[in-house]
């Protein structure tokens, strides 16, 4: 178990202890306030260079990582993959070597292959590598920002400071994850975070969209979304991953929605305090009805906003030398 990500790369949440997770959430809390300043910057990573390499599509993750790096005063090298030499067939290894030759301290990497971030950290062991989503494997900063968002909302409801809760809000919390679990790196990272923090997790998905090794996961599988809808304190919906062929694992989109979609009629059965989450982008009308996505219980935009302080915390802890550099 890793007890702190200070000075390390971040590949996965699977091997992080509760203490390591809480340290990241608490550090992120200290960065929330920077967002409200007129000058939205702290000098923590001044003079450091963060390379942002997205070999797969992204809106939220890339923009919030780059915003986070800039708020920490780092210089950002952003590779536009579509117009780079990757399109001429340059390998991942050669691309990384080229960027490393420019002098970098960290790489934020998104790639369609599971294990790509791990591979890059072997090519450039002196550089901190942060996995921004690798194939079906992990999306650690999404798991962190989801946990951060839940903690923030529950602490606010109880009228207490999120850090002072000691993250006890997760103990016994009932989280239901629904949809394309098999292809979801978000589900894997969310489950790692929630379980380590003390939550109970159930998953609801068609049998064809459950991973082969689901029995080894620390979750309970429920065949039917309906059965768990009133049980859940939090519902985490997953996008049907068309680009990974998910469409061929369900008879039709409308049949998937009829059984596993958070439709307007199903949403009426939720307890009023149940939170609705989605990592985005949403397939409106497939996993989530459009009217439901806009309900107050849906905290999807708050998830997006929280991507910035969480990624600031991850960059700060992995790259910065000493805690005294925060302010």
- Tell me: does residue 62 bind ligand NCD (CB under 6 A): no
Read off the tokens for 160: 């207490």
Residue whose CB is less far from ligand NCD, 14 or 60: 60
Q: Which of 60, 70, 174, 302 binds ligand NCD (CB under 6 A)?
A: 60
Q: Which of 135, 206, 279, 309 binds ligand NCD (CB under 6 A)?
A: 279
Handedness of CA 230, 232, 234, 237 (dihedral sign): negative
User: How many residues make contact with ligand NCD (CB under 6 A)?
Assistant: 10
Residue whose CB is less far from ligand NCD, 145 or 155: 145
- Tell me: does residue 140 bind ligand NCD (CB under 6 A): no
- Tell me: does residue 302 bind ligand NCD (CB under 6 A): no
Three-class HEC string of the chain: CECCCCCCCECCCCCECHHHHHHHHHHHHHHHHHHHCCCCCCCCCCCCEEEEEECCCCCHHHHHHHHHHHHCCCEEEEECHHHCHHHHCCCHHHHHHHHHHCCCCEEEEEECCCCHHHHHHHHCCCCEEEEEEECCCECHHHHHHHHHHHHHHHHHHHCCCCCCCCCHHHCCCEEEEECCCCCCHHHHHHHHHHHHHCCEEEEECCHHHCCCCHHHCCCEEECCHHHHCCCCCEEEECCCCHHHCHHHHCCCHHHHHHHHCECHHHHCCCCCCCEEECCCCCCECCCECHHHHCCCCECHHHHHHHHHHHHHHHHHHHHCCCHHHCC
Q: Which of 48, 128, 137, 139 binds ligand NCD (CB under 6 A)?
A: 139
Q: Per-residue contact track with ligand NCD, 239 to 278, x per CB under 6 A?
A: x---------------------------------------
CB of 59 to ligand NCD, least distance (A): 8
- Tell me: does residue 133 bind ligand NCD (CB under 6 A): yes
Residue whose CB is less far from ligand NCD, 9 or 143: 143
Residue whose CB is less far from ligand NCD, 287 or 289: 287
- Tell me: does residue 142 bind ligand NCD (CB under 6 A): yes
How far is Cα 321 from Cα 316, in angstroms, rounded to an integer?
9
Residue whose CB is less far from ligand NCD, 137 or 266: 137
Q: Which of 221, 280, 297, 325 binds ligand NCD (CB under 6 A)?
A: 280
Q: Which of 186, 276, 310, 315 binds ligand NCD (CB under 6 A)?
A: 186
Q: Which of 185, 188, 202, 266 binds ligand NCD (CB under 6 A)?
A: 185
Residues 103-122 that bind ligand NCD (CB under 6 A): none
- Tell me: does residue 188 bind ligand NCD (CB under 6 A): no
| Binding interface with ligand NCD (CB under 6 A) | 60-61, 133, 139, 142, 185-186, 239, 279-280
């Amino acid at each position: 178990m890793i007890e702190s990500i200070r000075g390390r790369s971040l590949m996965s949440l699977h091997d992080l202890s509760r203490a390591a997770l809480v340290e990241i959430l608490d550090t992120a809390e200290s960065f929330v306030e920077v967002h409200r300043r007129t000058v939205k910057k702290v000098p923590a990573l001044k003079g450091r260079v963060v390379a942002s390499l997205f070999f797969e599509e992204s809106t939220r993750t890339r923009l919030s990582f780059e915003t986070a790096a800039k708020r920490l005063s780092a210089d950002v090298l952003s590779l536009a993959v579509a117009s780079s030499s990757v399109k001429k067939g340059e390998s991942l290894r050669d691309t990384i070597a080229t960027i490393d030759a420019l002098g970098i301290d960290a790489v934020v990497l998104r790639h369609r292959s599971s294990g790509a971030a791990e591979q890059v950290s072997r090519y450039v062991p002196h550089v901190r590598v942060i996995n921004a989503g690798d194939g079906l494997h992990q999306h650690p900063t999404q798991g962190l920002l989801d946990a951060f968002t839940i903690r923030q909302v529950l602490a606010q409801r109880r009228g207490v400071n999120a850090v002072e809760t000691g993250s006890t809000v997760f103990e016994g919390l009932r989280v239901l994850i629904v949809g394309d679990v098999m292809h979801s790196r978000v589900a894997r990272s969310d489950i790692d975070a929630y379980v380590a923090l003390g939550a109970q997790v159930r998953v609801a998905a068609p049998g064809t969209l459950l991973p082969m090794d689901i029995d080894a996961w620390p979750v309970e599988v429920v065949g039917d979304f309906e059965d768990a809808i009133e049980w859940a304190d939090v519902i985490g919906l997953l996008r049907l991953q068309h680009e990974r062929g998910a469409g061929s694992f369900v008879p039709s989109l409308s049949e998937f929605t009829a059984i596993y979609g958070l439709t307007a009629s199903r949403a009426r059965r939720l307890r009023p305090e149940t939170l609705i989450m989605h990592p985005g982008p949403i397939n409106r009308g497939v996993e989530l009805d459009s009217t439901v996505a806009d309900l107050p219980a849906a905290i999807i935009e708050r998830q997006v906003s929280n991507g910035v302080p969480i990624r600031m915390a991850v960059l700060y802890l992995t790259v910065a030398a000493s805690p005294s550099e925060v302010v």
